[in-house]
Amino acid sequence: MRFRDFLDDLVRRYGAEAAGARHEIFFIRLRHSRIPAGMRALLAGLRDAWLCLRLPAPTRLPAGVIAIASQPGPSGLAALEPVQRALGQRGIVPLLVVHPRLRGRDLRRVPARPDGRAWRHALTAFGMGFPEPGVEALIVRCCLFRLRLWRGAWQATLSGRERGSLLLHNDFELFSVAAIEAGQGHWDSLCVQHGLPTDEFFPTRARLQLVWGETSHAAYAARGTAPDSLRFGPARDGMREPAGAPATIRLVSQTHTPVYGRSLAEDFVALAEALAERFPEPGRFAILLHPEEARLGHPYGAGRLAALCRRPPHAELASGAGPQLIVGFCSTALIEAACQGHLVIGMGWEVPASQTALAVGRPPLTVPDAGALGGLLDRLLADGTAVAEAMSRQAEWLRRSFVADDAWLAELEP
């Protein structure tokens, strides 16, 4: 199901509040797991209730700018780092408040414990009358319970100040939506683009959106984000030039994701088989698994392809690893690999959803199928001039993909 169709249907059947839990409901329904979706929704509700019970009592906030993180890594904490550095250069040190699952030994702050009124309101989600009984209604109730509970936690957290700003790495997860709703009318909200803008990004909620560059600006505007809400963010780490000619091929897998409107598993398995057949030498070809594939499983079986799979983190994509030929469909990992000096190639598979992500993340070097890819790889591996020309086109793509500006700093509510 396309995310846009899912969202329209969700609001029609369960009301506008359910849109605040759209991301969680969508992925609980569609994520492959041995545990039934209804049971996973209940377990997630119990987990969040336990986490909220263990939160600290409210205390007065020492900062007027709060950076909020619900995920680790490039889709979470790391996405906030350039913004935090830019603020630090202006003498503004945001208070980092994280989801309890990210609380470690470095004494990161977490939200405050919800009060009794918030708990009572959250529990009423289980008594909501919906037109259709069944597992889906249960999933919606559980997610609304969690949304209301986190909203109560953020209300207890933000009540100590009249004004301030919230910095977020997304504005569609429960934790982030709850913070924005709790601060409505008093706390400004600014969301940093953390990856390719798939359909789950829209409609956006934060007042300001810090986007990567020209292509993302156009994509957000095309999906209804007001142009006067869009800003370019701070400069990212420098782009790395390739050092030498690529000699190995890596396939960036993403068989896990439903956000493109159809499964990509069969496409990736067929492509991996073709590449393994074409490049049988040890070490020449490998499959780089997405973290979700490493955690939940992948469709590459237990034979030859499974032996070629590599679990994250992937040293091949790090800086200084030497240039690689990186093949994939359309993912943040591909554009990040290009930034590290690797030559990336996209597959031109047809998908019915997340066209905005394709507009931003599909590389300039794209082929329609495995046969065309094999011929292109043979030419690139044999011809340094062809590599140089492809790298030149890729550099122009990156120039349009990333634009730095500090105008957003003047709009922050300190």
Give per-residue pLDDT as tens, 311-359: 998 888 876 667 889 999 999 999 999 999 899 999 999 999 999 999 9
Residue 91's CB is within 10 A of a number of other CB atoms, namely: 7
Cis check: omega of the bond before 313, within 30 degrees of 0: yes
Burial classification of residue 291, based on how many CB atoms lie within 10 Å of its CB (0-12 exposed, 13-18 middle, 19 or more buried) = middle
Check: CB of residue 306 under 8 Å from CB of residue 335: no
Max mean pLDDT range (129-133, 243-247, 295-299): 295-299
Average pLDDT over residues 133-154: 94
- Tally Cβ neighbours within 10 Å of residue 159: 16
Alpha-carbon distance 233 to 255, whole Å?
Answer: 30
**Cβ of 181: how many Cβ atoms within 10 Å?**
18
pLDDT at 414: 62
222-280 pLDDT tens trace? 999 999 999 999 987 766 776 667 889 999 999 998 899 999 999 999 999 999 999 99
Residue 151: predicted pLDDT: 98
Q: What is the predicted pLDDT for the residue at 107?
A: 60
Position 316 scores a pLDDT of: 80
d(CA 230, CA 1): 29
| Residue entry with tokens 């065309």 | 372
Q: Which of 125-129, 332-336, 408-412 has the lowest mean pLDDT?
A: 408-412
Q: Count Cβ neighbours within 10 Å for each residue of 222-260 and write b for 16 or more, e otherwise.
A: ebebeeebbbbbbeeeeeeebeebbebbbbbbbbbbbbb
Q: What is the mean pLDDT of residues 372-377?
A: 94
- The DSSP element (H or E) to which 98 belongs, if any, is strand 95-98
Residue 162 predicted with pLDDT over 90: no
Among the residue ranges 16-30, 108-122, 126-140, the one predicted with the least confidence is 126-140
Ordered DSSP codes for 344-390: EEEE----SS-HHHHHHHS-SSEESSHHHHHHHHHHHHH-HHHHHHH
Per-residue pLDDT, averaged over 8-36, amounts to 90
CB 205, CB 177: distance < 8 Å = yes
pLDDT at 217: 97
Tell me the pairing of strands 187-192 and 95-98.
unpaired
Q: Could you tell me the pTM of the whole model?
A: 0.93
Alpha-carbon span 391 to 374, nearest angstrom = 18
pLDDT, the chain, mean: 91
Which strand ranges, in their side-by-side order, compose the sheet holding 343-347? 309-310, 285-288, 249-252, 325-328, 343-347, 366-367
User: Is pLDDT of 105 > 60?
Assistant: no
How much is the pLDDT for 238?
Answer: 64
In the chain, which segments carry CATH 3.40.50.2000?
Answer: 249-401
Residue 39 has pLDDT above 60, yes or no: yes
Interval 374-389 mean pLDDT: 91
| pLDDT single digits (tens) 180-236 | 999 998 899 999 999 999 999 999 999 999 999 999 999 999 999 999 999 999 987
Q: Is the pLDDT of residue 385 over 80?
A: yes
pLDDT of residue 242: 67
* Residue 233 near residue 263, CB atoms below 8 Å: no
CA–CA dist 250, 131 (Å, integer): 49
Share of the chain above pLDDT 70, in %: 96
Burial of 54 (0-12, 13-18, 19+ CB in 10 A): exposed
CA separation for the pair 165, 414 (Å, rounded): 7
Residue 131's pLDDT band, with cuts at 50, 70 and 90, is: confident
Q: Please name the residues in contact with 292: beta carbons below 8 A apart, sequence gap of 6 or more.
A: 256, 257
> Are the CB atoms for 160 and 185 separated by under 8 Å?
no
Please name which of 145, 170, 122, 169 lies closest in space to residue 43, comparing C-alpha atoms. Answer: 145
Higher-pLDDT residue of 15 and 245 is 15
Q: What is the reported pLDDT for 326?
A: 95
Q: What pLDDT score was predicted for residue 159? A: 87
Cα separation, 344 vs 326, whole angstroms: 5
The CATH topology of domain 249-401 is: Rossmann fold (3.40.50)
